[in-house]
Amino acid sequence: MKSTLARRIVAAGFKGFYRNRTVSLSSIFILTVTLSIITSFYFFRAVFDYTLDQVRQKVDVKIYFTTDATDDQISDIQSKLLGLPQVKSVVYTTKEQALADFKDRHGGDQLTIQALDELGNNPFGASLSVLAKDPSQYEAIAQQVSSDSGLLKESQSAIDKINYYQLKDSIDKLNSIIGWTNTVGFWLSVIFILMSCMIVYNTIRLAIFVYRDEIAVMKLVGASNWYIRGPFLVEAMLYGLVATILTLIMFYPATMWLTKKTVFFFEGMNIHTYYTEHFFALFGLLLLSGVLLAVISSLFAVRKYLKI
């Protein structure tokens, strides 16, 4: 009995979807626009996270050692830093490499190179570049390697300076940007979802209005509330499914075009490749979003305007 009822509801939903094509197309169009904006936010977030990650990779704290620091002291400090939960990686630069890097940077400044040669010895010490797992953790790392923490013990004397406090303003600004972006992104998403629900709600209300006479007759002959609601929910699911497929079809050539335009700007990130690699995740997100928006809007429209 229940299976028969379910088949009738599904059949009625497909029939209504096809019979009232104008309303169906308008609902699908609105949902497609909605899902396209969601997809745009999806890619924007991916590009933003990639760009932010590139910035994070360039923001690090350097620990400079004295010229007479021993390899054992440097190795001890490096191992202790790697043991900190906030540290992602530690890169060691020898004093010889520091000298070579300085010469490369000032290769066109003959006076500087000549003055360096006249010294007769290497004035640079070794250094460690410390990359944190999150930019907000640099202050904690700097405190751990300070003389007050006691973490480094005898090896503390090998440290010449730590550049965290010179970079503190830049790191704080980066943390502020990350926090601001997450907050704005959250509220924009909430506002956009509410707007989308209202648009889809009004579109589906129009579809229900078209069937008002049929619904009145169904109620008179004793049709249950769910038997009346069911076909509209099936139609809503079809709106979400078709809108999802159309959105994915549109974004396939769009991401190819964007890749050609941004391949040099976003070095290392191919938007079309990102699209294909995350296709099923994106499909699930859009299908879930489309179906939920349509179904929830349909439920509210039926309940409020049909007085079932």
Q: Does residue 61 sit in helix, strand or coil? A: strand
pLDDT of residue 76: 85
Mean per-residue pLDDT pooled into runs of 10, the chain (308 residues): 68 70 76 82 79 70 83 85 85 83 74 71 82 79 72 76 72 74 75 71 70 71 72 81 90 85 69 87 87 78 61
pLDDT of residue 68: 81
Burial zone of 161 (CB within 10 Å; 0-12 exposed, 13-18 middle, 19+ buried): middle
Please, what are the domains in the chain? 2-55+174-305 (no CATH), 60-166 (3.30.70.3040)
pLDDT of residue 107: 67
pLDDT of residue 264: 65
Instruction: Answer positive or negative: Cα dihedral of 173, 174, 179, 182.
Output: positive
pLDDT of residue 248: 92
Residues 6+ apart with CB under 8 A from 56: 131, 135, 174
Packing angle, helices 21-58 and 2-19, rounded to 10? 90
